[in-house]
C-alpha cells in the first residue's frame, strides 16, 4: 500500500471558480493563469476544469508546449515574454502571444525571421517596478514595435501592486489610462484581486472600475482568496480546487509534561491523545506552520477541526485528537481543502498559521505527492 498522502484536484471547483471570475466583467475574455504548473495543481490535471477559458497565460515555454500538447488551439500568452532570441522561433511555431516589457525584447523581435507576425502585449510599469516600460517611455516603445513587420496586433497590459490592499488601484489605473488613452488595442489589467474587488459591474467609483478586454485571474481559479483575511474564499463564492489529504499512521497517549517532536516544541498540559499524520515538509506542508502551546495550525481529522501540536518534520506532523476521541490508525486527515464528509478547511487559514499565503502552499505541493483528478 502506498503512503496514504494524496492531492485531489476538483475539476468542478475549477469550472465554478472560472465562472465566478467571469461574473465581474461578463463581456471580457479570461486568461486562465496557469504559471507554476497551474499553481501546483498540474497543468494536465487542471486543464479539463479550465478549458472554458479564452486563453492560457503562463511563463515557461515548456508549459506552453504542454498546453498545446493537450490539444489547445486557442491563445496562449507568455507573461514574461521571451528570454532569448530562439524562444521567438517557438512562438512562431506554436503561435504563442508574448509580453514585451523591455527594449531587449524589441531588439530580438526586430531580427526575428518569421512569415507570420506575432501578437504581442506591450507592458507598462505603472508603479509595480518589476517589468514594463516606464510611462514616459511607453509610447516610444509602441512606435518602435508598431513599425516592425514581425509584429501584428499590439495589446496593452499592466500589473497592479495593491489590488488586494488599502492602497488600491486608482493611481496605477490613472497612469495607465492617461498614457494608453488614444492608442488602438486591447487592454489587460486585472489579476484576481482586481477582478473581484474592482469589478466593472457594481458600485465602485469610476476611478476604481477596471475595464479589461482580458482579465488575468490566477489564484481565484484555484479557490483561494486573493485578499484573505479581508475576504475569505467563501465570502467570494470560491470553492477549493485542491484537497491535500492523508491518514493517521499512529497515535500516542501523552501524560502531563510530555513533549512532542523535534525541539520539544509542545508540552501536554493535561493527559491527551495525539495522532501522527503521514505528511511533512517534504510533501509541501510548511515547516514554519505554528505548532507550539500558544498556536497550532488548523487540520481536519474525520472532518472534525483540530490543530497541529509540535514541529512539522520531514515526513510527519502531529495533531491533537482531543476533539476527535474516536479517531485512530487510518482515520482521514484533511490538511486543506475538503473532507470526504464535505467539511472545508480553507487553504488560506492553513497558510496564515504558517505566516504565508495560499499561493505559496499550493505551489509548494511536492512531486512525491500522488495527484488524482476528481469531477
Ligand X SMILES: *Cc1c(COP(=O)(O)O)cnc(C)c1O
- Residue 285 near residue 351 (C-beta atoms within 8 A): no
Pairing of strands 304-307, 55-58: unpaired
17 interacts with ligand X by CB under 6 A: no
Four-point Cα dihedral 225, 289, 2, 303, nearest 10: -60
State how far the alpha carbon of 110 is from the alpha carbons of 47, 102, 123, 368, in Å. Answer: 34, 13, 17, 44
For ligand X, what does the binding mask look like between residues 41 and 80, x meaning CB under 6 A? --------------------------------------x-
Candidate list 45, 101, 112, 159; residue touching ligand X; CB under 6 A: 159
- Residue 131 near residue 123 (C-beta atoms within 8 A): yes
218 interacts with ligand X by CB under 6 A: yes
Min separation Cβ 224 and ligand X, Å: 9
Min separation Cβ 225 and ligand X, Å: 10
Is-catalytic flag, 359? no
- Helices marked H in 249-363: 347-352, 358-363
Angle between helices 135-146 and 170-180 (to 10 degrees): 40
Candidate list 33, 327, 335, 351; residue touching ligand X; CB under 6 A: 33
For ligand X, what does the binding mask look like between residues 180 and 209, x meaning CB under 6 A? -----------xxx----------------
Looking at beta carbons only, is 192 or 331 nearer to ligand X?
192
Looking at beta carbons only, is 196 or 290 nearer to ligand X?
196
Cis amide bond preceding 229, omega within 30: yes
Looking at beta carbons only, is 195 or 338 nearer to ligand X?
195
The neighbour count for residue 178, using CB atoms within 10 Å, is 10
* Nearest residue to the partner ligand X, using Cβ: 218
216 interacts with ligand X by CB under 6 A: yes
175 interacts with ligand X by CB under 6 A: no
22 interacts with ligand X by CB under 6 A: no
Is-catalytic flag, 35? yes
Residue 368 CB burial class (10 angstroms; 0-12, 13-18, ≥19):
exposed
- SS3 of 33-77: ECHHHHHCCCHHHHHHHHCCCCEEEECCHHHHHHHHHCCCCCCEE
Candidate list 199, 223, 226, 354; residue touching ligand X; CB under 6 A: 226
Cite the active site residues: 35, 262
Chain positions contacting ligand X, by CB under 6 A: 33, 35, 79, 159, 191-193, 216-219, 226
Amino acid at each position: 500500500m502506498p503512503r496514504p498522502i494524496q492531492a485531489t484536484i476538483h475539476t468542478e471547483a475549477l469550472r465554478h471558480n472560472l465562472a465566478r471570475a467571469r461574473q465581474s466583467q461578463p463581456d471580457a475574455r479570461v486568461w486562465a493563469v496557469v504559471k507554476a504548473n497551474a499553481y501546483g495543481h498540474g497543468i494536465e490535471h487542471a486543464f479539463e476544469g479550465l478549458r472554458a477559458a479564452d486563453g492560457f497565460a503562463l511563463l515557461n515555454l515548456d508549459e506552453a508546449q504542454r498546453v498545446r500538447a493537450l490539444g489547445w488551439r486557442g491563445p496562449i500568452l507568455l507573461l514574461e515574454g521571451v528570454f532569448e532570441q530562439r524562444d521567438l522561433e517557438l512562438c512562431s511555431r506554436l503561435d504563442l502571444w508574448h509580453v514585451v516589457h523591455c527594449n531587449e525584447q524589441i531588439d530580438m523581435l526586430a531580427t526575428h525571421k518569421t512569415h507570420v507576425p506575432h501578437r504581442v502585449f506591450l507592458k507598462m510599469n505603472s508603479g509595480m517596478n518589476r517589468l514594463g516600460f516606464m510611462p514616459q517611455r511607453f509610447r516610444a516603445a509602441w512606435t518602435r514595435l508598431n513599425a516592425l513587420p514581425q509584429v501584428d496586433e499590439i495589446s496593452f497590459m499592466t500589473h497592479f501592486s495593491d489590488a488586494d490592499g488599502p492602497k488600491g488601484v486608482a493611481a496605477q489605473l490613472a497612469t495607465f489610462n492617461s498614457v494608453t488613452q488614444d492608442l488602438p488595442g486591447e487592454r489587460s489589467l486585472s489579476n484576481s484581486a482586481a477582478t473581484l474587488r474592482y469589478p466593472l459591474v457594481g458600485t465602485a467609483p469610476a476611478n476604481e472600475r477596471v475595464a479589461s478586454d482580458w482579465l488575468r485571474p490566477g489564484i481565484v481559479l484555484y479557490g483561494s482568496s486573493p485578499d484573505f483575511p479581508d475576504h475569505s474564499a467563501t465570502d467570494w463564492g470560491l470553492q477549493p480546487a485542491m484537497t491535500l489529504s492523508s491518514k493517521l499512521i499512529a497515535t500516542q497517549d501523552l501524560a502531563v509534561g510530555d513533549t512532542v517532536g523535534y525541539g520539544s516544541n509542545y508540552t501536554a498540559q493535561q493527559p491527551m491523545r495525539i495522532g501522527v499524520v503521514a505528511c511533512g515538509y517534504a510533501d509541501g506542508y510548511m515547516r514554519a506552520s505554528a505548532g507550539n502551546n500558544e498556536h497550532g495550525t488548523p487540520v481536519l481529522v474525520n472532518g472534525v477541526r483540530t490543530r497541529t501540536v509540535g514541529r512539522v518534520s520531514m515526513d510527519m506532523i502531529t495533531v491533537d485528537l482531543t476533539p476527535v476521541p474516536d479517531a485512530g490508525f487510518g482515520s482521514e486527515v484533511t490538511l486543506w481543502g475538503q473532507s470526504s464528509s464535505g467539511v472545508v478547511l480553507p487553504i488560506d487559514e492553513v497558510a496564515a498559521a504558517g505566516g504565508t499565503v495560499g499561493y505559496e502552499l499550493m505551489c509548494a505541493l511536492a512531486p512525491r505527492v500522488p495527484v488524482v483528478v476528481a469531477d
